Chain A
């Protein structure tokens, strides 16, 4: 007994003295994380959780609420405005995915190649739209997309007849995609440039030795080796697409666009909450939107083989 005690005492005596409380790594970590965690829990976790609770309630008018069970979700299935919004949003997302992944990727590759002088200048130019105030963007695009606007004049050079971009139902989503392309190409170029610069130069050099041209190097080296960054940008674009809100608001003021061709899910959510003041139903729309985004993200991750063990 006494021997054992002595040994333990000797062992503990050999250890370093305990650091002061605030110097212990777990405590330090907790202190640094706490402000973020507190804000995150209060303004995100709690709010989102409460929204889920709200989605089972019927709230309309100030100070009026009652439990509604699944009524809000049932209503969603028959809400033709929601279905219109879902369709518009899905089309917009597909459109942005088809443009905002390949275009910036090719541009990023070109900007990295020796084909282009003053690469930094071009990158900054492409990035500028991201920094431009949305109010300005709204005004500029109203003029650009007007029937007698710049885009129609440009298309006219190729014999394309004048289009009412902002006045035609089926052109509302393309109009928003045009705007999104202008706004987001720059930031995606930055992501892809970062991805491309992580690919070791030796690989390109050895490919050159093997006789690969720029196109083959791009296709067989740059593309496969950028898979993680392409996945990242795809998921971000997917989020951005389904959360479409600002574009329709600044193009059409009220958010619906011609014949509700520009109505997005989030605009519908926003109007349900703040014009109709049906906070319960608006929450249900939000919950369903979150589920849609989550499901699609999982599908994308699966397609990219994210869950596979390498």
Chain B
């Protein structure tokens, strides 16, 4: 691994990165030349380290962990404490740093390229994961950990973090794609939510909503990927297939995108989300005020309702996505972050790190904690019978949300990623959705152009 950077010329590996950094830095300097410093203001890395427990009989193993989500730090800290209580061999001392998304991934890339400075364990977001799987993979294979639990896992969730069948990351959630309905609006429009089974039903219901209420049926993102990617995946498309082939312009994707285009332009039941995406404050406000009767987003979006949209309490209902064809997929998976172990970890810490990662991410209790602590849907199926997950959720119509979710698992479209996944996502996020939704471009043409852009990278 890292032959050039490690053995022959240890310092040279970092040179290309410094050179590019110099160019970026030259580019970043504003009129007063201090933009970089300013950019980092307020985005300082937050550091949180555990203290060694002198009474623990096991070997102290300090592990450095990088993430870009505060909640992940808390989750991993809590798991480390539980691990130490239950394990006599190792006493894990987790030293966690949280940095801004881009900053953390860039630093990681630099550290891995230069051969030193990388953490032992790191969270890599799904959009950036493929970047780390090019060339000599600087991550340790985790296949043996996953194998131990494979029969309990929703296998589709392991696909995004694989290269040639080897697992390099373990996720925090399944990210089941669902439709969030505002039942108050649907009732006002005279629509029974459970009568919506197919996308045709959905459009019909949408027309009723638009006719009888002030709301639109749904919102579409034009500066993020979720609206388009969700339906593409559900329809059996996406960015890559299982053979690692780019399928951005596949007929399934064209059909899904056409459906979205029709909702906006032909049926006029869908509108562009405020701020162009489902994570903008102005959009939360609109959804909170009842501007939309529904929206399709992954399961983890429940936390946004609870955190930012108080008016929706009790009114929201979670259902599968309407189907394209009878018996076909009714959901897929969205987003994701794979936790990985870098090859820069000391050999003598590797076993402890792997044991800890398996404990924190794959064991039964940890998977329950994914739901109870982070509000994420676990990807281990047996935990869905746990009392913590079968409880009804008053926010979402008093229904056993997680139990209902499990019923979708056998009709869940997988998501495969490939070497140009980050670039394909950029195309979906920045051009495809915008051109089709805002400018009325033909889905086929938009996807063909996007495919050409991605292919031109090589």
A residues near B (Cβ < 8 Å) are 43-44, 47-48, 50-51, 53-54, 59-65, 75, 78-81, 130, 133-136, 142-143, 146-148, 164, 166-169, 184, 187, 236-237, 239-240, 243, 245-246, 249, 252, 254, 256-260, 263, 265-266, 269-271, 273-279, 282-283, 286-287, 289-290
Contacts and interface: CB of A to CB of B under 8 A. Distances in A.
A130 B32 contact: yes
Contact of B41 (A43, A133, A275): A133
A83 B257 CA distance: 27
B149 interface: no
Given A50-B16, A63-B136, A259 B438 contact: yes
12 contacts: A44-B22, A63-B113, A136-B42, A148-B274, A166-B276, A167-B272, A169-B434, A246-B38, A254-B430, A258-B223, A260-B431, A265-B27
Given A167-B272, A258-B222, A245 B27 contact: yes
A240 B29 CA distance: 8
B112 A62 contact: yes
Given A50-B19, A142-B275, A246 B28 contact: yes
Contacts of B272: 164, 167
Interface stretch (B76-84, B127-135, B393-401): B127-135
Given A273-B24, A283-B20, A286-B20, A64 B136 contact: yes
Interface in B9-24: 13, 15-24
Given A142-B275, A146-B275, A167 B20 contact: no
A274 B109 contact: yes
B212 interface: no
Nearest to A266: B27
B453 interface: yes
A259 B435 contact: yes
B457 A278 contact: yes
B422 interface: yes
Per DSSP, are chain B's interface residues mostly helix, strand or loop, or mixed? helix
Given A135-B41, A260-B430, A62 B138 contact: yes
A11 to B, nearest CB: 51
Q: Which 9 pairs between the two chains have the least Cβ-Cβ distance?
A: A61-B135, A61-B134, A286-B23, A47-B22, A266-B27, A51-B19, A256-B430, A259-B434, A50-B19
Contacts of B19: 47-48, 50-51, 53-54, 279, 283
Given A51-B22, A259-B430, A276-B423, A63 B27 contact: no
A290 B138 CA distance: 33
B46 to A, nearest CB: 14
B18 A50 contact: yes
Contacts of B113: 62-63
Given A50-B18, A259-B438, A60 B134 contact: yes
B282 A147 contact: yes
A63 B134 contact: no
Given A134-B39, A258-B222, A275-B128, A62 B22 contact: no
Q: Which of A240, A274, A287 is most buried by chain B, counting CB atoms within 10 A of its CB?
A: A274
Given A133-B42, A274-B109, 9 more contacts: A243-B27, A243-B29, A256-B223, A258-B438, A259-B434, A274-B106, A276-B422, A279-B20, A283-B20
Interface residues of B, number: 65
Contacts of A44: 22
B30 A243 contact: yes
B223 A252 contact: yes
Given A47-B21, A54-B19, A167-B223, A246 B35 contact: yes
Given A48-B22, A259-B435, A243 B28 contact: yes
B31 A237 contact: yes
B282 A277 contact: no
Nearest to B1: A63
Interface in B74-117: 102, 105-106, 109, 112-113
Nearest to A148: B282
A43 B36 CA distance: 15
Contacts of B132: 62
Contacts of A142: 275, 280-281
A282 to B, nearest CB: 5
A269 B24 contact: yes
A187 B26 contact: no
Contacts of A239: 31
Given A133-B42, A135-B41, A243-B30, A266 B24 contact: yes
Nearest to A146: B282
B2 interface: yes
A60 B132 CA distance: 10
A278 B32 CA distance: 29
Contact of B42 (A65, A135, A237, A260): A135
Contacts of B3: 63
Contacts of B17: 279
A164 B21 CA distance: 34
Nearest to A53: B19
A280 B430 CA distance: 24
Contacts of B223: 167, 252, 254, 256-258
A305 B32 CA distance: 25
Nearest to A282: B20
A232 B440 CA distance: 45
Interface in B395-454: 422-423, 426, 429-431, 434-435, 438-439, 453
Q: Which of B18, B26, B38 is most buried by chain A, counting CB atoms within 10 A of its CB?
A: B26
A276 B131 contact: yes
Contacts of A245: 24, 27-28, 35
A258 B434 contact: yes
A271 B106 CA distance: 10
B131 A277 contact: yes
Given A63-B13, A184-B31, A168 B438 contact: yes
A289 B27 contact: yes
Contacts of B152: none
Nearest to B4: A63
B138 A269 contact: no
B27 A169 contact: no
B244 to A, nearest CB: 15
